[in-house]
Amino acid sequence: MCKSCGCHISPDTDKSTTRASKHDNSKIVDVHKSLLEANRRQAEKNRHHIEAMGAVAINMISSPGSGKTTLLEATIDRLGDRLRIGVIEGDIETERDAERIRKKGVPVVQLTTGGACHLDAPLVHKGLHELEALAHEKSGPFFDLIFIENVGNLVCPATFDLGEHRRIVLLSVPEGSDKPAKYPAVFSTADLFLITKTDLIKYFDFSVKEAVSEAKRIKPSLESMEISSKTGDGLDEWCEYLESLCN
């Protein structure tokens, strides 16, 4: 795919076996090959690529509107002068989220999937190169932290490794505390569970206890945090978590 970083997708080795079928001129080929394998291989390369940029990458997954972009804005306000942050925004259409992040003065790349409901590793690979090129003009192609905001969707992104180091799932209070039980796949693959918009908890019958215990039932080691980007509650803990990843 690209020469500059050596992240070239290696050609497939054909392990298929063939035999004649009962029909005269047809044959049966045993393939046994993963159709997700190409994505996984590219994700592995992305991970190396990100490490070569000096960074740790975070894949942020949630439904549309759970507060991913708002949290990124608040995070840049708090950590932007201490950490070199880059952002890859994934959306089906528009540059809007990238524009919001650009106003904060950090390098940002917008990826539009043109309909697809998730980012995949080849697309993120392209984003990494664009991010590198952007940063190069400024301070050199190095980062501490790269955020990848996935397309708003609590289902499909779970299937696609992007090459991230940490996968974070966000659930906002208005969505309801039953969502971990309803969308187990994304919770089972996450490294951290963020309950967002906790300033709204007085208006909704959201049970933090239910959300956390359901998430733990799906993945016992899953840690959680409660945050509000609006009031700043919980952002200290969140920022400490991020800084600890960069050390």
Partner 1 sequence: MHELSLVQGLLGQLESLAGQHGASRILKVRVSIGEESCIVEDSFRFGFDAIKTESSLTERAELQIQKVPGSDLMLMQVEME
Ligand X SMILES: Nc1nc2c(ncn2[C@@H]2O[C@H](COP(=O)(O)OP(=O)(O)O)[C@@H](O)[C@H]2O)c(=O)[nH]1
Residue 152, both tokens: 């708003």
Residue 196 touching ligand X (CB under 6 A): yes
Torsion (CA) 30, 34, 39, 41 in degrees, nearest 10: -80
Handedness of CA 170, 173, 175, 177 (dihedral sign): positive
Contacts of 211 (CB under 8 A, 6+ apart): 171, 177, 179, 180, 193, 195, 224
| Interface contacts to partner 1, rule CB under 8 A | 14, 16, 18, 21, 23, 25-36, 38, 115-118, 120, 155-156, 158-160, 185, 188
Task: Select 43 or 235, whichever has its Cβ closest to Zn ion.
Answer: 43
Shortest distance, position 157 Cβ to Zn ion, whole Å:
8
Task: Select 53 or 154, whichever has its Cβ closest to Zn ion.
Answer: 154
Shortest distance, position 68 Cβ to Zn ion, whole Å:
18
Task: Select 169 or 195, whichever has its Cβ closest to Zn ion.
Answer: 169
Residue 140 touching ligand X (CB under 6 A): no
Q: Are 180 and 151 in contact (CB under 8 A)?
A: no
Among 45, 84, 179, 197, binds ligand X (CB under 6 A): 197
| Interface contacts to Zn ion, rule CB under 5 A | 117, 156
66 touches, from Zn ion, ligand X, partner 1, none (C-beta below 5 to 8 Å by class): ligand X
Residue 189 touching ligand X (CB under 6 A): no
Return the SS3 of 103.
Answer: coil
**CA 74/CA 239 separation, integer angstroms:** 10
